[in-house]
């Protein structure tokens, strides 16, 4: 998350910091690629919220405290992207 904040800062020109290993919030399992494993994690947590038995905060990629179709869509939008894409 910290790297994402600094990467945003770089994009608006307010910082000279560069993350050594940028991460995608959509890479839910943090293996370096947005793939079916990430989709499956979000699907398993679908319709959950904090306190729900299936809640997984990493599956709530948009951070609105519910795993919904917006989270699924966000993961699918960058499907196939790797952390390497962020460095180029």
Asked if residue 35 belongs to a domain, the reply is: yes
Asked if residue 5 belongs to a domain, the reply is: no
The enclosing domain of 78 has a CATH number of 1.10.1330.10
Asked if 38 and 75 touch (Cβ cutoff 8 Å), the reply is yes
32 CB contacts (<8 Å, ≥6 apart)? Answer: 82, 83, 84
Asked if residue 61 belongs to a domain, the reply is: yes
Asked if residue 4 belongs to a domain, the reply is: no
Tens-binned pLDDT, residue by residue, of the chain (88 aa): 445 444 444 455 544 555 555 689 999 999 999 999 999 999 999 999 999 999 999 999 999 999 999 999 999 999 999 987 666 5
46 torsion bin: left (phi>0), alpha (psi -120 to 50), beta (else): beta
Asked if residue 13 belongs to a domain, the reply is: no
Asked if 51 and 63 touch (Cβ cutoff 8 Å), the reply is no
- The number of distinct structural domains making up the chain is 1
Model's pTM, two decimal places?
0.73
Asked if residue 1 belongs to a domain, the reply is: no
Burial class from Cβ neighbours inside 10 Å (0-12, 13-18, 19+) for residue 27 reads buried
Asked if residue 81 belongs to a domain, the reply is: yes
Structural domain boundaries, residue 40: 22-87
Burial class from Cβ neighbours inside 10 Å (0-12, 13-18, 19+) for residue 75 reads buried
């Amino acid at each position: 998350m910290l790297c994402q904040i600094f990467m945003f800062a770089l994009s608006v020109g307010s910082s000279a910091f560069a993350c050594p290993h940028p991460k995608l919030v959509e890479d839910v399992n943090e293996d370096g690629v947005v793939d079916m494993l990430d989709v499956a994690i979000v699907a398993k947590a679908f319709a959950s919220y904090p306190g729900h038995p299936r809640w997984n905060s990493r599956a709530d990629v948009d951070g609105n405290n519910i795993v919904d179709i917006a989270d699924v869509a966000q993961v699918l939008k960058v499907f196939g992207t790797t952390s390497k894409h962020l460095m180029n």
